[in-house]
Structure formats: structure tokens, C-alpha cells
Structure 1
Amino acid sequence: MHQLTYGDIEAATERIAGRIRPVTLVPVDPGAVPTYRDPLDDREPEPCEVWLALEYMQHTGSFKARGAQNFIQAHRDAGTLPDAGVTIASGGNAGLACAWAAQQQGITATVFLPTTAPPVKVAKLRGYGADVRLVGAEYAEALAACADFAAESGALASHAYDHPLIAAGAGTLLEEIHRQIPGLDTVVVAVGGGGLFTGVATAARHHGIRTVAVEPENCRALNAAIEAGHLVDVTVDSIAADSLGARRTSQMALHAAQQDGVHSVLVPDTEIVRARQTLWDDRKVVVEHGTAAALAALTSPAGQLPDRDLPPRPAAPSHGYRPGNGEKVAVVLCGANTDPADLVHRPGEH
């Protein structure tokens, strides 16, 4: 299995330059995120500095556009794009990105989704000209149908997260964040199948930046793999399952998680809902529940400060993350393909 390298991310950065939207970063209000105070730290107290990386403003509404563009462009450069086009199984966002990138390159995209995919994502897919096929109730069933189609048609099979070109494309996001925030200490990122995490963590480790991998309590494929020391299947039961609902993470993601400077934390659905509502109340930003999970790690009352000097251990998982004294943190808001109807409008809002 190809383990992602920083060289892969450098190549992706060059390959997709000018083909994606650079990420915008905005600061969080001072004091909005609680800071952990180490009793042994004799430095003057200093608030943490938190930035939101607004990657939900990317083409197709999520970070997935980076990996899809890198995947298709790499195959075009190599002369390996078949006449049958590209196919992918996706809970939604990866399919959108694949369809968009295929449209940009003038090729056909056939996208397989579970029947549980949000209608807003299905409608957007068709808007990009994709051939949409709804199969089964879970991602695994759509994936099997996609594999059969690729074998029969000769279409190039992409993947929602488990491919080095996909993960490398996602890692270009960290490169942009790093350039804009000198002295960045930590990046916080939600984890589904693990493509975004793998790319971000690989680039972050090269730059000496800590990665906090956030999953819902009942949607924890990476966290469970770290504890077991190998890939395992997990139950998927979270309000964020439409985007973070992988039953099993990738070997690439587990390898990245086992390196120094990575911390795996879990957050309850109640805090995910609260963080998503907070983004709407404070900034009129509408994101997916999976996206809000990253912010929930910093705002959850159960937030803990993981041991920064040790790699992940098979132990009770941390719930949330508390930045330390003066820590610079970037929180990736990775997707916004959601129905805003369930956001609560406060009195006086129009």
C-alpha cells in the first residue's frame, strides 16, 4: 500500500495550482475558545489564537474538489483517462467533486450513492452532469456497485478517500494554511474515511504542526483503528454520518495517525449540533454536521488536553481538545453541502 509522503503533496500543489480556490482564513473572537492552563507553566497567561479555515467555500462546497482535481489531472497528464470516463461511490461530497472535476476536464462521471444521501447533494450532482445511481442503504453497497460498473465499462475508478492522489490533493489545504499563519501550532480536522486527515496530517508533520483528528463518538473508524492497531469495522450512528460515516478508515489514514504529533479525539452529537448552531448564530455560516465536528472539539465542555509528547495509545479516547497557553490553532471547516432548514432562527432574526 502506498503511504502518503510530503512529496506527493508537493506534486499535488503544483498540479492543481490555479484549478481550485485558495482557502480563506478568519480569526475567532478572542476568548471564544477555552484555553488549557498547565499548572506547571510559569509563563504569563496568553489566550490561544484560533483561525477558521473556510474550505466550505471551495468548488462544489467542500475540500473534496482538491483531491478530485488532482486525481483526474494526474491521469490526464499520464494519458490514462479512459473513454468511459470516471466513476466513484460517494456519500455525496466526493461524488460532487468528482463530477465537477470531470466536467472541467470534459469527461463523463458516473456516481454511485447510497439511497440515504441528502437530496441536496443528489440534485447538485445532476447539475454537474453526472450519471447518478442510488444503490443500497450504506456506502459499502454503493462502493460494490461502483466496482462492478468499473469492471464492466472500463471507467476509471476513483475513491472517496482511500487513494494517494485523493489524499495528496486534500493535503494541499494545509500547505495554504501554513503559508498564511506563521507559527501555526495545531490544525483541527474532522475525520470520515480519512482522506482529508491523511493529507493534512502528512503535510502538518513535515512542518512540525500538530494534528487533532476529530470524530463523532459513534462514528469512530480512525479512533477504533488506533486503539486496535489495525483496521476495524465500526458501527455508524451519528448525526454527521452523511459525511463522516465510513465504516472503516484507510490504511493510509491509520499509518498517518500512528506518527508523532497526531491526537485522536471524539465529540458527542449534542456538541456537534451546538457548534453548527454557533457558527450560524455568530457568523451566519451554514456547514454540515461533519464540518461542525471539528469546531466542537474546541468548544465542548468535556475538552481535554492530550499528552503532547506521546503518540496515540490504546486508552480511553480524549473528548475534545483544549489549546494551550498562546497556542495558534487552525480549525478546518471542510464542507457546506447541507440543508439549513434545521438551524434555529433566534428571535429578532430575519
Structure 2
Amino acid sequence: MSSHTVEVTGPDPRSVACAPGQRLLDAFLRSGVYLPNSCNQGTCGTCKVKVLSGNVEQPAVSETVLGADEQADGFVLACQSSPTSDARIEVPRGAGSGPGHPLRDLSGVVHEVREIADDTLELTVGIDEPLDFSAGQYIEVTVPGIGHIRQYSMANPPSSADRLEFHVRRVPDGVATDRWIFDSLDQGHRIEMRGPWGDFVHDTEADAPMILLAGGTGLAPLKSIARHALELDPEREIHLYHGVRHRSDLYDVEFWETLTERHPGLRYTPCLSRDDGFGRHGYVGDVVLADFDSLRGYSAYLCGPPAMVDAGVKACKRRRMPGRNIHREKYTPAPTSAPDMVPA
């Protein structure tokens, strides 16, 4: 079967070839043509585009992601849709430009698998060719033998592009964690990946002081963002809050304490919601409210479970931070019936 040509309309028309069964988002990003994207599993709606002509197949989509009126008007999700003919699509206005790094397949060798907290591992992978990515992005890992895909954010900055660091929390009976990474993955094993993905990235053009709110392994992309920001400006004002339930869930404490000694503008605050006696007690959003009377002039990056992110956004807005300055990424469980998931 031959490929199909898909064109994005607008003042700067672009087109790419899409192989049979290949999803629109995959085809465009591999060609270096940006389309907005975030979760890559059909739950956020970031990648919606309008089909102006041609035929595109898409699995059933929840109306909470694409309303019935939108679907009737020709909107589809680029991460879930494959063309069955040549087609023309329109990207919603205001989508802007994104990271722009070409999507590609990667192969790497595990350098280290290290336990860093209860049910949490740090996975370090050396890749055959350096990966161009923006701080905050993620890659997809293929689970060997079954072909399922799992997504993990890079914790290393883009300057360390040949050795990727991931933070992995065990999911009970998880096909990627319990049955593979925590069970048998070891130094020297080769893994297959593709990336980079995602629009949750460090805005390098903004020089405002930063608030970073992490929940659990949501620390990974924020570690990348903080390290990248400090590489660009060692005096940057950065306030990092890392929220977990118990002291045993906390990790990278020594790393952050050492980093604060080298960078006077960096403040690290661990927050424990169930334990006392170390760091601050409470949820990260509440601790931020206690620490700041105003967040005007700040920018925020939030990553973690949906409830934590939503509460953190509300806290930032209560302290008068404009919504345009708030960047967020929600980690949600992998669906059990499909091979895709959001970052973890």
C-alpha cells in the first residue's frame, strides 16, 4: 500500500507523507513538522485538528475530549487518527510553535537501575545517538515481548543528551513496572524507545523566577527543567516543592541540597502529606500558599497526579499568577486495554 500525502493549511502550508496505518501526529513529528501534542493517548485533546478534505480513521473518542459538535465538524485527534487517502487538515488558531525536535526511534543500553525510594527506581540509559529534546519532554519505551508502550519523562537536561535518566514508580501488576522493570531489567539490557514527545517544556525565553511543584515521580521533568534553567543562568531564582506521602517516598534529597549550595537562588522544599519531622508537612499547593503572599511576576511548572496539579494551579492563581504563566503536566495511570499511556 502506498503512503498518503497530508497537508496542513495556512499561510505556511506544509505536507508530509503518512504510511498506511501511521498516525498523523507520528508522521508529522518524524518529518520535523510541529503539531501540538501532550498525552499522546487520546485523553487531553491537545492534538486536535480539523479534517478539511480526505478520509481519516479514528477510534471512538470520549465527548469530554472532543465534543459531538466538534466531531461532526470534522475534528479528530492527530495522535489517534490515520489517513486512508490524501487529506488536508487545519490546526486550530493559537496553537503556536512548539519544541520542534524531530521524532525518531531510539535504541539504548541500560547503564544503571537503582532503587531511590520505596517502589521507585532511577533508570539510566545510554543511547546510541544523542537525542535532541527540550527540558520537560518525554520518550516512549517499548515493553519487550508484548509491544506495549509506556512513557517516561527525561530527568536529565538536554545538555546530557546521550545518557537519559528516568524515575520509575512501581504500578501494582503493571506490565512495564512489576512485570519488567522491577522484575528483570538490569544493567546491559537493551531497550527500544521513540521520542521526544510533549509540549510541557521549559520556556527558555522567559526569565521570570520559577515555582516548580512536583508530585512523586513528577519530579523527573522538573529536575530537567531546573538543571537546564541553572545552566542558562546560575543565579536564577527557583523554588522547588516536592510532594510525597511519607519520608520513605522521598528521593534525590542529597542532590537538591548539594545543588542549593552551588546556586544561591535555588530553594528546595520537600513536602510530606502523611509524615512529620522532615521538610514541611502538607500538600505542595498549601505550602506554596503559606510561603508566598503574591506570585505576580513568577512562572510555574507543575507535574504529578491530576489532583495535585489541579490544586497547585489553584494555589498559583490565588496568589495572582496569570494563567498564561502556569505550565502543567498530569501523570495518569496507563489504560489497561491499550498500549499507550501518559508520562510516568
TM-score range, shorter chain: 0.3 to 0.5
TM norm structure 1: 0.34
TM norm structure 2: 0.34
Q: If you compute each CA radius of gyration, which structure gives the higher value, 1 or 2?
A: 2
Q: Which has the higher strand share?
A: 2
Q: Which has the higher helix share?
A: 1
